[in-house]
A and B are shown apart, each in its own frame.
Chain A
Amino acid sequence: MEEKFARPEIRKPENIVYKRTDLLVDRPLSYCPGCGHGVVHRLLMEVIEEKDIVSKTIGISPVGCSVLAYDFLDVDMQGAAHGRAPALATAITRLWPDRYVFTYQGDGDLAAIGTAETIHACNRGENFTIIFINNGIYGMTGGQMAPTTLPGMRSSTSPYGRDVDIMGHPLKITELVANLPGTYYVTRQSVQTPGAVRKTKKALRKAFDNQDLNKGVSLVEVVSNCNSGWKMTPVQSNIWMEENMFPYYPLGDIKVEGTLVEK
């Protein structure tokens, strides 16, 4: 196809200022158009590439939309049972103390079925990184209510909106684990704008750098969109997320270097 506004004269390898990292496997991602998972996958691989730790990295994928993360991330990976990723990561980081270990988990995986594994791994102060994608819904399973679904938010199992009197409250598990002595770095970020993406990448880098210190769990929550589950366009879903998710799940560092950040 002919490109109208191409500038072939500057398309030279030395002029590249951004390209997809080779640590993302060369195949289309399985995520819906506009889904934040793709951005986080890319940032994660950029951090591992920049730290040059591929041969020392072991990742754990969850159950949920990112169940196939191992098909896209070109590092050694093991698929966990639903919610159990922190248990796998605990054993791996203990058996291979010099490896960089991460779990990649959604809200249903980490904050519902895997709550016990999450809290106890955080409380033991295991030396690995948790990447927690919070989009307030079970995406893969078909849009059911998640532990993080907002009050009043519609899902296929809260079709009239989440009634907290009946269905309970959304769980701020990130704030919860920040209060445990075993967490070293806890932050909440997002990936809907260029600035937010840059901050998330810095957070991921910090989380992996923390593994060099062996001081406990680093947890990076990324509040993300699920435009399919929320039944919006990707751009609309990002705006909805800013207007509705961010007030309940405020962005920013919650715990840095083992100390809670004062608000």
Chain B
Amino acid sequence: MGELRLMKGNEAIAEAAIRAGCDGYFGYPITPQSEVMEYLMAEKPYESTGMVVLQAESEVASINMLYGGAGTGKIVMTSSSSPGISLMQEGISYLAGTQLPALIVNIVRGGPGLGTIQPSQADYNQAVKGGGHGDYHMIVYAPASVQEMADFVATGFKAAFKYRTPVMILSDGAIGQMMEKVYLSDPVPRRTEEEIISQCPWATTGRPPTRDHNIITSLDLDPAGQERLNLVLQEKYRKIEENEVMYEEIECEDAEYIFTAFGLSARICQKAIELAREKGINVGLFRPITLFPFPKKEIRELGRKVKGIMVVEMNAGQMIEDVRLSVDSDIPIEHYGRFGGIIPTPDEIVNVLENKIIGD
């Protein structure tokens, strides 16, 4: 069944959330992601599914609303763009420290500072390396199409609850704003309160006589206790690295060279592959879909087969660090990036490939 529609990436995220049985969205307007909340407010899911939609007074408030809602076992999400996500780092760190499930969508724009409202991938490090204080990770999905924007909502909720961890969809202003056809799966009903209470015994839903009171906190004044929590988190991240890696290989079978790119850059690289192959250069694309966990093993193996890797990002070179840490063969690994909302063209990419990698 399901349904085929033409939608903006931001709208697809909102519609997918309603269909995934989301209980609450808490957000604050910021370009280029405002369509998420605008769509939800227009659709009024609070009248159809009972999903709460609330415009907060700030990103600080909306992430802390998310933190409160997540503590009660509900399926909750927020969305924002880079400067707003910076404000949310405190709350994301608390979500990680208290091991709560929540989905955060970042429709990245160029920075630093107020930057630009044009698309960027400069929040890779902030998303993948923690971002807030303390040792933690989020599971980070990088969609490259409107379809994946929709799909990763349900995927994200599932992973968030499976591991009790905050999850981020790291997209950008171009994918958020562009329209594509998208297949929407049938709606699943929101869980009942009884289901939530039985599925989330850790949640603060009100203490019945049958159990001790539940406490959700990231505070442990005893260093040994705080170290134990950190070890639990690290063990969880190892399990996530074992089980949750997602990636895509395009035309890698006969490739002598590889582009590595995520999200929008990966789409541009697909066109660059065509151009390069017309010139007789056998190049493929390795696209990490999860940025944490990073597909280390897969790219290492690929690195052993090819003559060079070119990492294409709309930033100054962030994911390239993970590529270099993963690859163990002695091949050139070079970066090509544009900033400030400028999207690289396929021609530029092929030129750089020829000059920086093949020319070596």
Interface residue total, chain A, C-beta cutoff 8 A: 34
Give the CA-CA distance A36 to B66 in the complex, in Å: 32
Give the CA-CA distance A94 to B61 in the complex, in Å: 14
Closest CB of chain B to A75's CB: distance in Å? Answer: 6
Give the CA-CA distance A88 to B24 in the complex, in Å: 13
Chain A CB within 8 A of B209 CB? yes
Interface residue total, chain B, C-beta cutoff 8 A: 39
Contact of A67 among B58, B204, B219 (CB under 8 A): B219
Chain B CB within 8 A of A117 CB? yes
CB–CB B52/A79 < 8 A: no
Give the CA-CA distance A54 to B64 in the complex, in Å: 24
Given contacts A87-B64, A120-B57, contact A92 B71 (CB under 8 A): yes
Give the CA-CA distance A78 to B202 in the complex, in Å: 11
CB–CB B71/A78 < 8 A: yes
CB–CB B68/A90 < 8 A: yes
Chain A CB within 8 A of B280 CB? no
Give the contact stretch, choosing among B210-218, B228-236, B250-258. Answer: B210-218
Chain B CB within 8 A of A91 CB? yes
CB–CB B56/A87 < 8 A: yes
Cβ contacts under 8 Å, A91 to chain B: 24, 26, 52, 54, 65-69, 72, 76
Closest CB of chain A to B298's CB: distance in Å? Answer: 37
CB–CB B215/A96 < 8 A: no
CB–CB A95/B213 < 8 A: no
Chain B CB within 8 A of A99 CB? yes
Q: Mark B58-81, 1 if CB is under 8 A from A, else 0.
A: 101110111111011010100000
Chain A CB within 8 A of B90 CB? yes
Give the CA-CA distance A81 to B61 in the complex, in Å: 11
Closest CB of chain B to A22's CB: distance in Å? Answer: 12
Given contacts A75-B213, A79-B219, A84-B64, contact A92 B57 (CB under 8 A): no
Residues of B in contact with A (beta carbons under 8 Å apart): 23-24, 26, 52, 54, 56-58, 60-62, 64-69, 71-72, 74, 76, 90-91, 94, 98, 193, 204-209, 213-219
23 pairs from A and B in contact (CB 8 Å cutoff): A68-B219, A74-B207, A75-B206, A76-B214, A76-B215, A78-B71, A79-B215, A79-B216, A81-B64, A84-B61, A87-B68, A88-B67, A90-B68, A91-B54, A91-B67, A91-B69, A91-B76, A92-B69, A92-B72, A92-B204, A94-B52, A96-B205, A116-B57
Instruction: Give me the 3 closest cross-chain CB pairs, A-B, nearest first.
Output: A88-B68, A87-B64, A79-B217
